[in-house]
Structure 1
Amino acid sequence: MTNLKTFIRNAHLKPWDGVIILLLILSSFLPILIFGQTQTATKEAVLRVDGTEITRFDLVEGQQSYTYLYEDEDGDYNLLEIDGDRIRIKEANCGDQICVRRGWASKNGETIVCLPHKMVIEIQASDGSETDDLIY
């Protein structure tokens, strides 16, 4: 205790200066607490055929995997698989199979296109934001 008093006396610090310094150090972390709590927008996949919206799928991480079969009146079909926060066309009866080979889409703005069936799947943020990127 005497060493601390000697240090304060030699450093020309007053007793309340330590409290002020401690408060300044603690308040320097305040922006992290305020701005560190970012709201992440939920994502959804929008299924359109020939420009007409058919349905929307919520893409939520940790969600159980399920499939959705879209079939038109001509017998053309696409089997979609939704697995958590990503989506893909698992199976289709189109000739080129490019949509199936495309694989998973999960980022905002990504698309999966099946030209023979005039189908487009687009990933969108539900709040209308443009990208998944966080700005620091």
Structure 2
Amino acid sequence: MKLKYFVKNSLLRPWDGIIVLLLILLSFAPIVVFSINRVNEAPTQQAVLSVDGKEIKSFDLNDEKQSYTYRYTDPDGDYNLIEIKGTKIRIKEANCGDQICVRRGWIDQSGETIVCLPHKLLIEVKASDGGETGSVIY
């Protein structure tokens, strides 16, 4: 008896529940669209090392078997030891005071960056064609 009374006197109509359910399902549509887009893209990426806005070196991040380190030393003697392993890159060691660049860890997605502010150093992962083909979806 209470259910009939509630249904009769409520502001909700029978189609309201269906519309709410449909809206909830449609809210997940961007996740589906972007994940399909990410699967179809070829991950050709490179990491670009720039210091004080000038590009110094680029590293190819397409070879799964590669593993090496690169040491950048500026004229003042400050250094950053950059490690490339497979399709990932990180700053392994630096003689800056805060060590934020070292704690940043590995990056491998287009658009991700590592910044060492005391040395004015920036490492950014980019798609080889300059686009955002390897964008990560959070």
Q: Shorter-chain-normalised TM-score: which range?
A: 0.5 to 0.7
Which amino acid is the alignment partner of residue 118 of structure 1? K
Query: What residue in structure 1 maps to residue 91 of structure 2?
Result: 89
Deviations 1:79-107 (A, max 9, x none): 00000111000000000000000000100
**Cα root mean square deviation, aligned:** 1.8
Structure 1 runs, 4 residues or longer, greater than 3 Å off: none
TM-score using structure 1 length: 0.67
| Aligned-pair identity (%) | 66
- Counterpart CA distance in 2 for 1:122 and 1:133 is 13
TM-score using structure 2 length: 0.66
Query: What residue in structure 2 maps to residue 98 of structure 1?
Result: 100
Which amino acid is the alignment partner of residue 126 of structure 1? S
Q: Tell whether the 8 Å contact from 1:109 to 1:131 is kept in structure 2 after alignment.
A: no
Which amino acid is the alignment partner of residue 121 of structure 2? M
| SS of equivalent residue, structure 1 residue 99 | helix
Q: Tell whether the 8 Å contact from 2:52 to 2:121 is kept in structure 1 after alignment.
A: yes
Query: What residue in structure 1 maps to residue 123 of structure 2?
Result: 121
**Which consecutive residues of structure 2, in runs of 5 or more, have no partner in the other structure?**
1-39
